Amino acid sequence: MDKMNLEPIARRLMTVLSLSLSIWLVGARDAVGVETKFDLNAGYRTDDLNWNIAGDLSGTATPNVLSELTWRTVRSVQLSGGLQLTGSNGLHFRTTADYGWIRSGDNQDSDYLGNDRTLEFSRTNNDTSGDNVWDLSLALGYRFRYGQDRTATYFTPLIGYSRHAQNLRITDGNQTIPATGSIPGLDSTYQSRWEGRWIGVEFLTDTPNEVNAYFRLEHHWADYSADANWNLRADLQHPRSFGQDANGTGNVLSVGFLTVPKPNHWSVRVGLDYQRWTTDPGVNTVYFSDGTIGVTRLNDVEWKSWALSLGLQRQM
């Protein structure tokens, strides 16, 4: 069973784990004093992703960069939500999820004959739209309180597990090197996944002021995998033309502000999230239409994303 077929199973398991733990803690809230917070947000997001492969598996043959794919300014409309449960003993659980509908973006596909991206012999400049990006994360931690009465700062070390996806499409192709123009029928896809454990820390202020702040930093270790369907390549298999695998790391930074809860327990939330991920060298496996397989070095993958969101949080 390949990794793409495992994706629905992994997503269901993470969802069941999150819901089961949430239900258990909510059911026990009267007994152990569980504080519950949930939020729902809408916002704007942009993503950049690029990867390149070498001419052979060792990465030492010419060209050392054979092909490079770049997506820039992939704009999405995003919905996100989160649930936090904190016991009176300091035990803290959280789950967050977001989903973005891609509205527009730019793609470039370049091929080279010389080392270090020289002797470029093919380039296409294309559009990307209509697919999606999403993130899902679970975490456990212990919340420490510093301060007296109504003025406090909370410090929470966290451990977690997360999964992130970029489902990207390449359409409206234009061959710019050589300049032959439009590429009819282009509708290729590239689907990437970052999955693994992480550690982090969060700081949260709780004061009588009108606005409080939070800051969260996470460091992730990820298994990276991707599958692509190059729909116009008759020499490749479909729907899986090639796959990629590598080990990677990522850093996620979240900052934001919350108004003090009103008597109805609702607060207004503004948040900014930034993440940057990279991989070590990995493997790029090509599946040819005649049944043979080719293997080259995946030099690296880089993904950057930021999102600005506005929403509401309810505290119970």
The whole-angstrom separation of Cα 299 and Cα 224 is 13
Question: Which pLDDT score is estimated for 5?
Answer: 44
Q: Which residues contact 149 (CB under 8 A, 6 or more apart)?
A: none
- The residues facing 146 across adjacent strands are 153
Phi, psi of 259 (to 5 degrees): -75, 155
Q: Which CATH superfamily is domain 3-315 in?
A: OMPT-like (2.40.128.90)
Question: Which pLDDT score is estimated for 3?
Answer: 40
Residue type, 306: W
Half-sphere exposure of 212 (CA within 13 A, CB side): 18
Question: Which pLDDT score is estimated for 23?
Answer: 52
Contact 251, 217 (CB under 8 A): yes
The whole-angstrom separation of Cα 111 and Cα 66 is 6
For Cα atoms 164, 128, 63, give the angle at the middle one, nearest 5 degrees: 85
Question: Which pLDDT score is estimated for 151?
Answer: 81
Q: Which residues contact 88 (CB under 8 A, 6 or more apart)?
A: 32, 33, 34
Question: Which pLDDT score is estimated for 150?
Answer: 73
Question: Which pLDDT score is estimated for 260?
Answer: 83
Question: Which pLDDT score is estimated for 64?
Answer: 97
Question: Which pLDDT score is estimated for 33?
Answer: 79
Kindly report the average pLDDT of the chain as a whole number: 91
Q: How many CB atoms lie within 10 A of CB 293?
A: 10
Question: Which pLDDT score is estimated for 176?
Answer: 98
Question: Which pLDDT score is estimated for 19?
Answer: 55
Maximal C-alpha separation, the chain: 72
Contact 59, 297 (CB under 8 A): yes
**pTM for the whole structure:** 0.88
Residues in the chain with pLDDT < 70? 1-32, 149
The whole-angstrom separation of Cα 141 and Cα 67 is 43
What is the token pair recorded at 301?
């993958």
